[in-house]
Structures are given as C-alpha cells and as structure tokens.
C-alpha cells in the first residue's frame, strides 16, 4: 500500500534561537537551530525526523585568568508521535 504525500509535512518549526549577554566579567552566547519533518502513518501515530544543532559558549574574563567553556552537539533527531 502506497501512502500519498498528504500525510507528510515539514514543520515551519525551523527554530533558530540565538541569545547572549554579558555581566561584569562573564559573557555567554547560546545558539539552537533545527529543521524537522513529520510523516503521519495513521490519525494517531506518526514519525518525526530532522537535523538539530546546539552550541553554547561562556567566557569568564577575570583580571589574571581567562576561562572559556564551549559545549554543543549536532546530529539527526528521530521520534515517534502518538496522539491519544
């Protein structure tokens, strides 16, 4: 049985969030973005998949030492959607 494309949709949920700021010696930046799509097998069961990227940076710039912390991930996201 072949499903038509009417069950397939791409989320306009292309999240691109960036925020940052600084206070005294501390500055921070966060970037979070993703693109996702969803296929609805039945009215109540579907599958979502997409690509995601996250990165954060914190810098502490004191008078005698500078400390930087970077953390991030990127990859493929898969999920099963069940609507009750």
Q: What would the pLDDT profile of 59-74 be if each residue is shown by its tens digit? A: 888 878 888 889 999 9
User: What's the pLDDT at 24?
Assistant: 83
Which of 50, 39, 18, 22 shows the shortest CA–CA distance to 81? 39
What is the predicted pLDDT for the residue at 28?
Answer: 87
35: number of CA atoms within 13 Å, CB side? 2
Kindly list the domain boundaries of the chain, sorted by start residue: 5-82
Task: Name the band, by pLDDT with cuts 50, 70 and 90, for residue 15.
Answer: low
- The two tokens of residue 2 are 């072949």
Give the CA diameter of the chain.
68
- The DSSP secondary-structure symbol of 42 reads S
- pTM of the predicted model as reported, rounded to 2 decimal places: 0.59
Sorted by sequence, the CB contacts under 8 Å of residue 55 that are 6+ apart come out as 30, 31, 32, 70, 71, 72
């Amino acid at each position: 049985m072949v499903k038509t494309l009417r069950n397939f949709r791409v989320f306009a949920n292309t999240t691109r969030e960036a925020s940052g700021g600084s206070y005294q010696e501390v500055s921070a930046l966060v970037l979070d973005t993703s693109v996702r799509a969803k296929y609805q097998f039945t009215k109540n069961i579907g599958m979502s998949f997409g690509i995601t990227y996250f990165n954060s940076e914190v810098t502490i710039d004191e008078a005698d030492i500078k400390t930087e912390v970077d953390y991030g991930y990127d990859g493929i996201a898969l999920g099963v959607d069940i609507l009750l």
